[in-house]
Structures are given as C-alpha cells and as structure tokens.
Amino acid sequence: MIKKLSFFISILVFGSAFAQKDKEQLQKQNAELKKQISSLNATLNQTKQESKLSVAYLNAVNQKLTLREKVYNNTQKEKRFIEDDIYKRQLEINKNNRELAVLRKNYSEILVKAYKTKGVQNKVTFILSSKNLGEALKRIEYLKRYSEYQDQKAAEITNKATQIKKNIALKKKSVSEKDNLLLSQKKELTTIEIEKKQKQDLLNEFKKNEAKLTVELKQKQSQSKELERQIRIIIAEEIRIAKAKEEAERKAEAERKRLAEIAAKKEKERIDAENRAKLAAAEAERKKAELELKKANELALKKADDEKKLAESNKAAEKKAAAEKATRDAEERAKAANDKLTAAKANEAAITKKKEDAKDEAEKKIMKSYDLAPTVGSNFADNKGRMSFPVERGTVTHRFGRQPHPVFKNIVEENTGIKIAVSPGTKARCVFPGVVSTIQVINGSRTVFVKHGNYFTIYSNLASTFVKANQQVSAGTPIGEIGSDFDESITLDFQIWNGDKPVDPLGWVSY
C-alpha cells in the first residue's frame, strides 16, 4: 500500500513542474490582460459624454468585459493549480510523518540494544575476548560500522523532520496564496457584475434613444452611400485617365520602338561593315592554316611509310636513322600546322563574338536612349495580408460588407470598407508605397486616395491632411488627422479598391 502511495506522490511531483509553468503562464497572461483593461479604461475616461451612445463606446465596454471574464477564468485555473499543490504537499507531509515514525521506532530499538551492551567497558571486553588478532580486528571494524549506522539513522531522522517542516511551510504559503486569490476573485466578480450592469444601462440608453439614433444612422447610411457614389466616380475617372495615359504611352512606346529598331539596324550594319575586312582576313588565315595542316599531315604519312619500307628492306643503319628523323620532323611540322589552325579558328571566333557583343551593346544603348528600358511594376497584390494597419492603435467597429447593427437588429449596414475607432488626435497612415492621386472633400470631411498600380487605398473622415496630390508616399507616411463621426466618436473610414471593386481591408492589412 505504501509503495503504491509513494508512486502516486511521485507522479504528482513530476506533474507539479508542468503545473508550475502553466500557473506562471496564466499569471503572465493576467498581467497583460489587466494592462489592456487599464488602457481601455483610460480610453473610455477620455470619451466625451455625448459620444457614449456610440458603437465604438459600446465595443470598448464589451471588450473590457470580455477581458475581465478572461482574467476571472484564468484565476479559476490558477486556483485549481494551487489546490492541487496543497493536496500534493499534504500527501508528502503524511508520507514523511509515516517514514519518520518508522525511523524513530528503529532508532529506539538501536538505542535499547546499545544500552544492553553496557557502553565502552563491554565493547573493550567484546574485543579482548577475541580468540586471535584477526577476530579482534573484525570486532573493531564491526563496532565502528555499528556506530556509523547509529549516526546515519539519527541524521535520517533529522533530515526527515526538516523536510516535514519545509513541506508544512510550503503548504501554508500555498494556502495563503489561495486565500489571496479568492479575495482577488471576489473583487473580480464584483467588478464584472458592476460592468455588466453598466453595459445593460448603456443598452437601455440605446433603446431609450432608438428613434433619434435610428434617424441619425439612416442619415449616416445616406452619407455612406453618397461617399461610395463619389468614390466610384473618382475611381472610374482615375481608371479612365490611367487607360488613356496607358494607351498614349503604348503608342508612343511603339513609335519609339520603331525608331529604335531602325537606328539599331543601321548601327549593326555599320559594325558588320567595320568588321567585314577583319573577318575576311581571319577566314583567309584559317583556310591557309587548314591547307598547311593538310600538307603537313600528308608529308608525315609519307615519311612514316618510307621509314616502314626501309625497316622491311634491311637497309643500312644510317639510312634508317635518316628516315626516322625525317618522320619526326614531318610530325613536328604537322603539330605546328595544327596549333596554327587552332589559333586561327580562335581568332576568327573572337572577332565574331566581339562583333556580336558590340551589336548587342549598341542595341541596348539605343533602346535606353529611346526610353525603352524595362520597368518594375507594383507589387501591392503580392503583399496581401502583410500590410501595416492604417492607425497605430484602434478598434474595428464596423466590418466590410453587409452587417447587422450591434444594437438595433432591424438595421442592416452595407459597408465598402471598415470603420476604426481611435482616440482623439490619432493620425491615419499609409499602408503601402504609392502616389496620392487626389484629395476630396466629401460630406464635410477630407478623403485621400492613394494609388498603388491597379489598386487604391482610401482614407476618409479626416479633419486635416498632411499630403498633396501626386505626392509619392511610403508605408507609414502620415496621411491626415482623423476627425469625429456623427456620434462624436473619432473614426477612420478605411477602404481598399481593386480597380472599380471594393475588397475587405481586413484581408489585406495585419490587425
């Protein structure tokens, strides 16, 4: 039974290391969540009384309540970890107490036995009564080990008692930690209940002002439709101008290309004429080398044949030596002729390559002079999902497409972009390099259009702007300061259009 219990405790101890890590992770998460709650509280405290009946304010309240509930749930998990630790410590204390009782019992028996041997005098008698020296030495070693055994058992009792005290202290610490956590939980629950009531009061306030807010919402929807209509007109005009410009550039490029091809052809003909004499000379030199190689090879074959015949006819030794020398000379001439031919071919190839390189270089130079060098296109589409958010910090209150109103379920909104609630003084920033194509005043606020090839990013509801038309902008360039919406909340209306079609910005920017 004791063995099974020990095994169970060892499993608990092994699992406690992982539990401790999980507990630390929960504490870290709660610290971060509380930081976010503090930031939201600061934002809500800054909000004007008039803007409390806004979706942005309601979203902030909802977000804060969600964070509070996450903190509470994490605290519940942390409490379970502490309770497991208390249970594990109690099991260890019980086990240590049982082991200590056994150690004390054994030690008592040792002391009784030692007492019965009547101390040092009996030990001396025990040694002196040995039959011989060898037996005496064995008895001395026995008594020494017995004494060490007594000391060891006494030390085990002391260590076990110390371990029990340590576990009791750890258990008390965990109990105290649990009490503090329960107190914190109680406060969290009270705060959650208060904030739930605040949320319900806010919803009741919305319902109470439903008629007024519905009128304002419908007015805002009309303004949004007007904004969309004007955006479509502006983008259509931008596309028309871009197409006309593209067509004009295409025609101009075709003409430049035609003139460049004529100029390149003339330059190539000049290079061909300039190199014609060189190539003719190189070709003649090659043919001459080929003829010399042919004659040298024929002579080498003839000399080799003569040498063979002399060897067969057993002529005098001096004639044979002369024939061998003639053969070697013929072979050397053939080798020299072959080297000369190789050099002639290399020279001819080098002249040809130099001529072709000169023609290619001349063509590139002419094409560049006619502004026909290749250009780099926009890579806006390649960066989908990786672009920066249009504000440093903000909350999306209205999403793209057809969306039900968060309070008035009978009202459905049709959004061509997203709305982002921010704190006063926040600046909109460009999400990708491009060119400011136009700045318009629509519905009393400023709207900036930035062109990125076939794509547009649109920043609406700006109180002021920091850029000009035709200005080159980079990712992060401040576009303008964001203004207040109809409900007094500070809101950026951000849109992305692919040609004449709006797309969901949240699929393009990182949020």
CA dihedral 99, 100, 101, 106 (to 10 degrees): 90
Domain count, the chain: 3
Distance CA 186, CA 272 (A): 95
Q: Same domain for 471 and 335?
A: no
406 within a domain of the structure (yes/no):
yes
CB 127 within 8 A of CB 140: yes
Q: Domain range spanning residue 137?
A: 2-208
Task: Give the end of a domain, one of 320, 351, 369.
Answer: 369
Q: Same domain for 44 and 162?
A: yes
433 within a domain of the structure (yes/no):
yes
- Specify which of 25-29, 277-281, 501-505 reaches the highest per-range mean pLDDT: 501-505
187 within a domain of the structure (yes/no):
yes
Backbone angles phi, psi at 417, to 5 degrees: -155, -150
The closest alpha carbon to 438, from 275, 216, 234, belongs to 234
Check pLDDT > 90 for residue 468: yes
Q: Same domain for 268 and 317?
A: yes
CB 347 within 8 A of CB 285: yes
232 within a domain of the structure (yes/no):
no
279 within a domain of the structure (yes/no):
yes
The closest alpha carbon to 163, from 94, 104, 81, 105, belongs to 94
- 406-450 residue pLDDT tens: 777 777 788 899 999 888 889 999 999 999 999 998 878 899 999
246 within a domain of the structure (yes/no):
no
Check pLDDT > 70 for residue 267: yes
Q: What confidence category does residue 328 fall into, taking pLDDT thresholds of 50, 70 and 90? A: confident
Task: Give the end of a domain, one of 369, 392, 416.
Answer: 369
Q: Same domain for 358 and 468?
A: no
CB 459 within 8 A of CB 26: no
Degrees, nearest 5: CA angle 240-246-250: 145
Q: Same domain for 355 and 461?
A: no
Check pLDDT > 70 for residue 199: yes
Q: Same domain for 403 and 327?
A: no
332 within a domain of the structure (yes/no):
yes
Degrees, nearest 5: CA angle 240-244-247: 140
What are the CA-CA distances from residue 249 to residues 244, 245, 253, 254, 470 (Å)?
8, 6, 6, 8, 19
Check pLDDT > 90 for residue 503: yes
Task: Give the end of a domain, one of 369, 388, 410.
Answer: 369
Residue carrying structure tokens 């909000």: 47
Tokens describing residue 451: 């062109």
- 304-317 residue pLDDT tens: 776 667 666 655 55
- E strand or H helix that includes residue 452: strand 445-452
The DSSP secondary-structure symbol of 382 reads: G
Average pLDDT for the chain: 77
Q: Same domain for 401 and 364?
A: no
Return the number of other C-beta atoms located less than 10 Å from residue 502's C-beta: 20
- pTM for the whole structure: 0.52
- 34-61 residue pLDDT tens: 776 676 666 666 655 545 567 777 777 8
Length of the chain: 511
Q: Please give the pLDDT value at position 373.
A: 46
Q: Same domain for 67 and 180?
A: yes
What are the CA-CA distances from residue 388 to residues 56, 436, 510 (Å)?
22, 18, 6
Distance CA 247, CA 245 (A): 5
Higher pLDDT, 316 or 459: 459
Q: Same domain for 356 and 421?
A: no
Q: Please give the pLDDT value at position 465.
A: 95
Q: Is 391 helix (H, G, I), strand (E, B) or coil?
A: coil
The closest alpha carbon to 486, from 230, 218, 209, 199, belongs to 218
CA dihedral 189, 194, 197, 201 (to 10 degrees): -160
Q: Same domain for 353 and 474?
A: no
Q: Please give the pLDDT value at position 375.
A: 39
CB 370 within 8 A of CB 445: no
58 within a domain of the structure (yes/no):
yes
Q: Please give the pLDDT value at position 288.
A: 82
The closest alpha carbon to 297, from 338, 247, 347, 339, belongs to 338
Distance CA 85, CA 488 (A): 52
